[in-house]
Structure formats: structure tokens, C-alpha cells
Structure 1
């Protein structure tokens, strides 16, 4: 334990502030995931956040903040790393399917362990570069947190989408310059400034779609 910080209470209060309904089982799974992340981080370097007291806000609540924008369906978390936001979304949306993709073998080994220990049947882990990934079906939604620029994020995953796919890009500051470099057939349909309890930094979510070119 790190001092007297009550992580369960911190998570419950934060979720409540964001109007995210959290069942006891989901809260338990989220905290179990955080414990695994903390344990494996020492050897696997999964996240730069070393302090568990910061992990609730920086990882759990930050990932939960996009939940209202995650519709049911088949989702891909690109460059999932330590599993943000993919693991958190899989816990919260048990009826949807989540594929977590990362080219780093250590990170996908960790994610496979999370899947097994938390019993997340709706989660699939793929160790591959995104360009080489060719699933049988396209995805309804593609999400990334700090994976790459918007231009790279959309162009590298274009082959995994349909005309209805939504891209959710989690960003810090509003990425004005990145938007200039976006391909012509992509458009931002929503931009949300997210308020993450306990996080002072600016957080934005951009939702993009491919538009048919005439």
C-alpha cells in the first residue's frame, strides 16, 4: 500500500463526478488491472506513471472519460501499450469486442496476462505492427491514446475501417497543427474537452470519420 490513499474511493468519486456508472464488479476489475500494471511495470516499463496514487486519475479515470463516446460494437485500440484505454473499455462494455494491438512483445504479453487474470472474454490481444494487421472484419471504432499524430493514426488504420467507422483520438492540448496534416477525406465530427478528476492537464477527444469523396 502506498500511504493512506484509498484507491477504491478515489475511483468511485472520480467516476461519480464524470457520471460514469460503475458496478462493484467493474470497480474491482479496474483496481485489479491497476495492481497488475503496477506490478509488471517494474520489469516491463509499461507506463511512465510510477506512482499508484496517480494511476487512478491518469489511467483509469482518463480512460473512463471517453466511455460516453464508445458505442457498442467491434473496437480496436491501436498502440495499446499498457492497455489504456482498451482494457478499461473492455471492462466497462462487456457486450462489445475489443482488440488491443501493439507491436511490442513485452506489452502484449502483459495484456494477455491481464485478459487471463481478469477473465475478459471480450478482449483479444494482437502482437503486430498496425500496417501488417489484416483482420477478417473491419472495426466499428478505432481508438488511440497518444499513439501518433492524427494523420498517422488515420492513415495507418484506414485499411481496418468501413465508411461508418469512427476514430477516437485521445489527446492532450487541442491538436491544431495535427489537423492541418489530416488527409482530405477525414473530418472531425466532434471535439470534446474532457474533465478528468484529479488531472490538471488539458484533455481532448477528437472523433473523426471518413467522408465519401465526390
Structure 2
């Protein structure tokens, strides 16, 4: 082929290659940030649901432990290493929540609800001390105190039967985003106070306050 004919062809090929490179650069500039965002969002969602799962498991473990008590747990004082002291659960909650930083923004509320039929009608749940109920709150550091009786029972409580009791454990954890900044994450949910509630009937005794 004549060099005179090849020259325009080479010029067109060079232009086409430059054009394709430019298009590829534009595509990369548009797609790469979106891909990075989706990767970060996927990791963030995984971390979020991981914390939710750990919180659920920890609350279930505490409720199961209290329900296994052979007698009313000692709720005042310590030592917080004995299984019959309610503050023990507040002390071990940090380990149950590992690797979540439970000491910052964690809370554990343990209550005993009693079926109260003193009104003459169908029994209703109450955790008033006068009915034998009790309520203890432990902060993330493991310090536990007596809490005021709840004005109402949590949602989804099982229907009360005469002389029935149920252990209710509410675990809470303040969640902070791990990767995506709090300001950006606010549009997708931001920092949030997670909460889970577990109901468990005592296995061996009613665990009422004497």
C-alpha cells in the first residue's frame, strides 16, 4: 500500500485511540467513586448488623442466666462475681459485648414482672415492689442500682397467667459509624441508640422479692 494512503489511516487510528482513552478516563472518574462508596457502605452495614447481633446474643445470655436462678437474686451490694448477685450480669456484660465498646454508651436493665390479679379482672403485668417485682439498671461500667418500677410493660410481652412471672432484660448500646463519617452517615441513619428486649420465664422459682 502506498505511504500516501497509510498516512491518513495512521492519523485516524491515533485520534481514535486518544478518543477511547479519554472516554475510559471519564468512565473511571465517574464509576470509581461510586464503587468505593458501595464498598464502604457494605462494610458499614456489616458492622452495624454485627453490633445488633452481638447485642441480641448478650441480652439473651443474661436473661437465660437470671431465669436459671434457684432463688431471688441478691440485687444490693456484691460481690459482683457471685452468680446469685444481679450486679454480676452488669459486670460481665462488657465481655459479652466484646469487641463492641460497651463501656461507652452501654446499658442493661433487668426486671421481674409479676402477673397482678388484685384488680379483680384479668391479671396484668406489674413490676411494682408491692407485688414482688423488681428492677435493676447497670451502666456500661458495670455499676448497678435499683431502678424505679416501669409504668408500663414492654411491647410483645407474653399474656399473663395467674401467679405468673417473667424476666425482662433490655440491653442498649449507642452505635457510632465505623468507617463513614458521622456527618455523612447522618443522611443514612447516623449515630443511633440500639435496643433489644428479651423475655424469659424463671425455670425453678418465681424470683419474686420476699
- TM-score, structure 1 normalization: 0.22
- Report 1 or 2 for greater relative contact order, CA contacts < 8 Å, sequence distance ≥ 6: 2
- TM-score, structure 2 normalization: 0.23
Larger radius of gyration: 2
